[in-house]
Amino acid sequence: MMTEPLRKFTFDTVFDGDGQIASAPVRAKRFFAPDEVEQIRALAYADGERSTLARAEETKAQALTAIASAARAALGALAGAAHEHRTACAELALAGARTIAGAALERFPTAPAEAALSSLAREIEATAKLIVRAAPEMVADLQAALDETAVACGFAGQIVVKDDPALSLAAFVLDWGDGSAAFDPAGAAVRVGEALEGALAAEGLHAEAIALPPSTADQNEASHG
């Protein structure tokens, strides 16, 4: 018969019939030399320090990301407020300009036609007759003002001012056969308002963005990428 080789008794844990530990091996105590203790302590301290620094860096990155997000939101709100302020200021300035222009035209209703005649002097210098249409209440004053302007700018042709009830105060139409020029204060005010509104809308749509420095999280991602 073959028999199993003898094994050294290892004194493992023994349980009794009730499942309780009857006996257990005695674990030998290990003693560390002072230099080993110091080395273990140093390693544990270094691991703890690295873990603390890693948590601090992570917290810092999260804080900087939150600050950057808040700053971007604030800049967006600030840009909107600035645009609203510019719009309000422009509308106020336009309203003031309309009031001043209206008062000036009431005080000097012939001035726009005189300025137009001076500007067109070279273009109409060979014209024999210039027909001017204006509001009925302006005919006499405008005839005298344009005759005087014609002498000053060297226009030798005849100027005939006719009344046109469809025209408002300070409005006029110049007709010299080969061309014409006209001015309507109400229409000019509308065009100026539309131009201003378009400029403000274009500025609002294409406002220059303020660049923010990259956050620590972005820099870390870039460095690891």
221 Cβ neighbours under 8 A, 6+ residues apart: none
pLDDT of residue 139: 96
Annotated domain spans of the chain: 34-103, 109-184
pLDDT of residue 165: 96
Phi, psi of 81 (to 5 degrees): -65, -40
Instruction: In whole angstroms, give the CA distance from residue 99 to residue 94.
Output: 9
Q: Which two tokens stand for residue 17?
A: 């019939």
pTM confidence score: 0.53
Within 10 angstroms of residue 151's Cβ, the number of other Cβ atoms is 10
pLDDT of residue 4: 55
218 Cβ neighbours under 8 A, 6+ residues apart: none
Instruction: In whole angstroms, give the CA distance from residue 132 to residue 159.
Output: 7
Q: Residue 155, class by beta-carbon neighbours within 10 Å (0-12 exposed, 13-18 middle, 19+ buried)?
A: buried
Which residues of the chain have a pLDDT value below 50? 1, 209-213, 215-225
Question: Interhelix angle for 34-107 vs 185-205, to 10°?
Answer: 170
Express each pLDDT in 202-214 by its tens digit: 876 555 544 444 5
